[in-house]
Amino acid sequence: MTGATLLFAKALDFAARKHVHQRRKGESREPYINHLAQVSRLLAEATGGRDAALIAAGLLHDAIEDTDATLAEIEAEFGSDIAALVAEVTDDKSIPWVERKRLQVKHVATKSKRAKMLKLADLTSNLHSVLESPPADWSPERKRRYLAWARAVADGCRGADATLEEGFEAAWRRCADKYGA
């Protein structure tokens, strides 16, 4: 077993256990791990499998924000590089939601290239969810606001990775066609 495979298996197990009771907000209530798997896959495809830490961070990126996992725990299990990547894409939950979303737009351009890649994969996966299984309580206006916000964050990630940017654009265009943004 290579180091990369071991790392991937560990991160998958950690994420599956931490998010075990969570489901996506969409009407089909997919298990949360589906989102994490998709983000990890997009990163694996974009890097040709060459950045094992980033691919593992894709599995772990919501663990601090959405579970009882701590940064110290992720650092102890997975090392400082992966912990730093997860920290870069983790919002401060003590800040109100609307302000957090605004700060993401404001600060994303200052993040590292790999954090931007992770953010692009995250946004793309979320757009696929909005396309295939939007939250039942989202009005057309709410969907359009989400699309505008996702576009603003992705604009801050320009230049990070051509494959991920193309994936985002394709998903965004399909959403915009469907929801009239």
Residues that bind Zn ion (CB under 5 A): 62, 122
Query: Measured from the CB atom, is 51 or 62 closer to Zn ion?
Result: 62
Phi, psi of 19 (to 5 degrees): -100, 15
Residue 51 a catalytic site member: no
Helix or strand or coil: residue 31?
strand
Q: At a CB cut-off of 8 Å and minimum separation 6, what does 34 contact?
A: 24
Task: Look up residue 86 and give its amino acid.
Answer: V
For residue 155, indicate whether it is catalytic.
no
Nearer to Zn ion, 92 or 177 (CB): 92
Q: How far is the CB of 136 from Zn ion (least distance, A)?
A: 20
Whichever of 62 and 161 has its CB closer to Zn ion, that residue is: 62
User: Of the residues 30, 51, 62, 65, which is catalytic?
Assistant: 65
The Cα–Cα gap between 65 and 45 comes to 25
Q: Are 125 and 154 in contact (CB under 8 A)?
A: no
User: Of 13, 51, 62, 66, which is the active-site residue?
Assistant: 66
| Catalytic residue positions, numbered | 65-66
